[in-house]
Amino acid sequence: MIKVIVIDDEAPGRKLIIEYMAFYPELVLVGEANNGVDAVRLINEYKPDLIFLDVQMPGMNGFEILPHLEEIPRIIFSTAYDQFALKAFEVHALDYLLKPYTQSRFRQAVDRLSGSAIVNKIQPLAEKLIMEQTQYPERILVHANKKLITVSTADIVWVEAYGDYSKLYTLNHIYISNFGISVLEEKLNPAIFIRVHRSSIINLNFIKEVNRYPGSYDILMQTDAKVTVSRGYMDNLRKLIF
């Protein structure tokens, strides 16, 4: 079963997709919306596997809803305007249906669901939109199994460099961010997050204790992880000690 939500501000557009879906019993409609605000609510509530997403809608357009989603489903865009095609494929949409389209064209889009190339796709534009919302975003996109979800930055205990990526540790989970630790250092609020090592950033709110040694410190986080403070970043910690 593939859970589907259809999002289009025009009723005939939604009706056509639902009619075409009838030829695919594996596609199960769990909701439909005619604006971006309702679309965000439905997607976050039902966690669909696939959404048919119109681009131009009242409230928020199809691209603007992405930063507000807790998980990024597979997307087939549908619109009467072809100038959005490139941007659609930048978010690794399965397909881009240009209205009006035929049942045969719809079938081509649905057939892409079985293609292995779309599994585990990174959503670079969705990440970019989230990271550029504000100077210090409250939520960022991370990998969780085969999905992308948003995580509150306030829940991040500490960050560890992981090659060109980063590991984000919360109290209960470990996530992978598509961004390197230096990018995250710039985007995370410095009033809360401080760099203590070229491979580590900590959230001050989750420090359990600080152990001082001759010429160095170790920080014990609330997850019981021990993070070493390197010489190059020692001043970042010292300025917090009174």
For the stretch 86-90, contacts whose Cβ atoms lie closer than 8 Å and that sit 24 or more positions apart, written own/partner, are 87/63, 87/125, 88/55, 90/124, 90/125
Is 184 within 8 Å of 201 (Cβ atoms)?
yes
User: Per the structure block, which two tokens stand in for 119?
Assistant: 């599994």
Output the pLDDT for position 120: 40
Output the pLDDT for position 89: 57
Output the pLDDT for position 105: 92
Output the pLDDT for position 21: 96
Q: Which domains does the chain have, with CATH numbers?
A: 2-118 (3.40.50.2300), 137-238 (2.40.50.1020)
DSSP result, 7-74: E-SSHHHHHHHHHHHTT-TTEEEEEEESSHHHHHHHHHHH--SEEEEESS-SSS-TTTTGGG-SB--E
Output the pLDDT for position 226: 95
Output the pLDDT for position 237: 85
**Cα–Cα–Cα angle for 183, 184, 188, nearest 5°?**
130
DSSP result, 126-147: HHHHHHTSSSS-SEEEEEETTE
Taking the chain (242 residues) in runs of 10, the rounded mean pLDDT of each run is 94 95 95 94 93 87 84 86 62 80 92 58 51 69 73 93 93 88 90 95 95 88 94 85 69
